[in-house]
Structure 1
Amino acid sequence: MPHTQEQSQGDTAKHDSTASKPDSEKKDSTATAADAKPDAPKPKIIKTTKIIKRVLKKKLKSKRKSSDDKSGSGTSSVTSRSESVHGDEDNESEGLGGEVAATVLHIDRDEFLQAHRDLTTERHHAQILNNLLHRRLGEYYKKRKCEHVLKPYEGAVDLEEKYRQKLLVYNDMKMKAERELAEIKSRVSEVEEKYVARLDNANSKFDELQQLERQTGSGLIYSRKGKPMTDKTVERFLTLQRRKAEQANALCLRHIRARNAVSELEAIVKNLETLGPGLYVYQYEQLNIDNQNYNTKIEEREDELIKHRAKCTEHNQILAHIREKMHHTDEVIDFAECDLGDAEMDFFAAREELSSVKSRRNRLRWSLEDERLKAGLLTRKDLLRDFQASVDEVLKLEKKKKFLESQVGKTARNIREARKSFQVHTHPNAQKDSTKSESVQKLNQMPSTSK
C-alpha cells in the first residue's frame, strides 16, 4: 500500500496546485477536463489477495479492460497509474511471497474543485464573521469596563508549561504502556511459538510411532488362528489408538484443569481458614461463640439499663418539677425583693416624716404645756369637774335667788301697794314717805344685781 498512498498524496498536491492558480486558468482547466472526461466513473477500491502470480495477472488484465471500456480516453492516465501501482504491488507480492493488496482510484476533478471553491468561500465568510464578533466583544468589554479580559493572563506561561509537562508525562506513560503491550505480545508470541513447536514435535513423533507400528503390524500372524493380520485391522487399531490418545489427551487436560482448580480451591480454602498471620477460622468461631455469650450478657445489662433509664427519667421529671418550683420561687423572691426595696424606700421616707412629725409633736407639746399653764384648772379634770359642779350650783342658786328676789319683789310690791292704800286712807303725807322708801329700796337692790 505505500505506492497507493504516495499516488494519493501526489494527486492531492496536484489539486492544491490547481486550486492556487488564478480563476481564469481554473475555468479553462475545468472546461478542458469536462470536455476530456464526459463520463468519469466514481472511485472504486478493489482488494485482491492471491498467492499465485498468474491468477493475479489475469484478474488485473480483466479489470484494465473493463476500466478502459468505461472511462475511455479520458481515464487512460489513471489506468496507467493503476497499472504501475499494480506492477509495484506484484513485485512486492513476489518479494514477500504472501498477500498482495491492489487499489484502483478514479478521481473526479470537477467535484474536488467545486468543493475547494465552496470551502474557501465558506472560510472567507467565517473569517469575516469571526472578526466582526471579535470587534463587538471588544466594544462590549470596553463599555462594561472589563478591559482586563482582553489583556493576556498573567499566569498563562506557567499554565502552558504545566500543560506541556503533563503532555510529556502522558506521552511517556503512553510509550511505557505501548512498550509493556509489545513485551506482553512478544512473550505471548514466544509462548505460542513454543507451544506450536512442541505440538508439532509431539504430532510428528506420534505419526512416526504409528508409521513404525504400521510397518511392524503388517506382517504379524495371529497365534491362535495362524492367519496373517490384514491392513484394515492394523488401520483400525491405529485409528483406535489415535482416538484413545486424543481421549487421553483430553482427559489429561481435564485432569490438569481439575488439578489446577483443586489447587486454587485449596488455596482459597486455606486463605479462608487463615484470616491473617496467626489467625485461623476456629479462632474466629471461638471468638464468635464468646461474642454471642457477651451479647447475651449485654442484653441483660441493657434490660437493667432500661430499668435504670426509667428511674432516671422519673428522677429527671421530679428534678424538672423542682427546678420549675425553684424558678417560680426565684421569681417570687425577685418580686418580694422589689417590694422590699419599695417598702424600704417607704420606710426611709416614713422615718424622715417621723422625725418631722416628732419635731411638730414636741412643738405642740410645748405649746400645750404653755396653754395648760395658761388654762390652769382646764388641765385637771377633777378640779374642773368640781369647778363645773360649783358653777352649776352657783347658777342654780342664782336662779333660786332670782326666783326668791322676784317673790320678794312681788311681796314688796304687794306690801307697798298695801301701805299706799293704807296711807292714802290715813293721810296724804304718807304718800311722800312711801315714794322715798321705794327709791331707797331701788338703790339697795342695784348692788345685789351687779353682784
Structure 2
Amino acid sequence: MLIPSSPTPSVHGESEVKLGVDVPLTETATQPEPQQARTRSAGNAVVIDREEIIASIRASLDDNEKLKARNVILQNQLGEYFRRKRSDENAQAGGTSSTGDNTLSNTGGGKGGADIGNRYNAALTTLQTLHANLATLRGTHDKQSADYHEKLTLKRAEAAAKEGEFRAYKRSVALAAENSRTGKGIQVKAVEALEAGEERKDAEVVEVRLENIKLRNRLRRSEALLRQKEELADGLHLIDFEQLKIENSTYTSKIESRNESLLTLRKKITTIVQVLTHVKEKLWHTQLVARDLEAKLAELDEDVLRRRDALPGRKAVRDALRKENAELRRRAGLLGEKGLLRDFEHRVVRSELWSD
C-alpha cells in the first residue's frame, strides 16, 4: 500500500472519508481570509496599520504550522489503518483456509480488497482536493506577502526619511545650544559622539527585537511539536510503559550488580587502607630504629677513627717494650728461665757430691 507523504492541509466541505479509525477529517483549520490593511488618508499620505499586517502574517504562520502537524497525524493514522487492515486480511485468509471453504474466502478477500481500493481512491481524491486548496492558499499568501513587502519597503523609506529629518533637527538644536555658565556652544565632536552612541543603541535595540521575535517563533513551533507528540503518543503509552518497565528492570539488575561490586571494592579499599596504615606505622618505627642505629654507627665510626689515630703510637710503644724486654733478657742471662735454673742447680748439687 502507498501512503501519501506530501503535505495535506485540513479537509473542507464534503471531502470526509471514514477509514475505520477515528480520524477527525471534518475539522477545518481556520484560514484567515485575505485581509487588506486598513488605511486612512491624511492629505496625499497613506497610513498602513502595521500591527494588523504583522498579526495577519503571524496568524498565517500559525495556521501553516497547524496544517503541517495535522498532516503528520493523518499520515500516521492512515498508515496504522492500512497495517491493521492488512493484518485482519491475513488472519481472515488463514482462518478460511483452515476450514477448507476456499470459495467464501476468495469472495470475502475480493470484497475486502475492493472496499480498501474504494476507500483508498476516496482518500487520494481527498488528497488531491487538499493539494488544490493548499495551492490556492499558497497563492493567496504569496500575493499578500508581495503586497506587504512592497508596503513595507515604502514605509521603511518613509521612516528612514523621517529619521534623517529628526536627526538633522536634533543636531541643529544641539549645535545651537549654549552653556548657561560659560555661554559656549557644544562642540561638533561631542555631538557626533552622542549621535554615534545613539546609533549603536538603536542597532542593539533592533537586534534584541529580532532575537525576541525569533525566540517567540521558536517557542511557538516547540509548543506545536510538543502538542503533536502528545497526540501521537496517545496510542503508544501502554507499549512505551511496558518497554520502560523492561528497561527499568534491566537497569535495576545492573544497578544491583554495580552496588555489589561497589560494596566489594569498598571492603577492599578498607582492607588496603588498614594495611597501608599498619605499614606506615611500621615504617615510622623502622625509621626511628634506623636513626638510632645511624647515631650509634656514627659514634662507632668516631671511636674507630680515634683509635686508628692512636694505633701508630701504641705500636711504637709496643716495639720499644719488645726491644727493652729483649735487652733485659739478654742482660738477665738465666733469670726467668726456670728449667735452666733447675738444671743448673742439679748440676751444682751433683758437682758438690762428686767433690765430696
Give the alignment's TM-score, normalised by structure 1: 0.26
Higher Rg of the two aligned structures: 1
Give the alignment's TM-score, normalised by structure 2: 0.32
Between Structure 1 and Structure 2, the one with more helix by share is 1
Higher normalized contact order (CA 8 Å, seq sep 6+, divided by chain length): 2
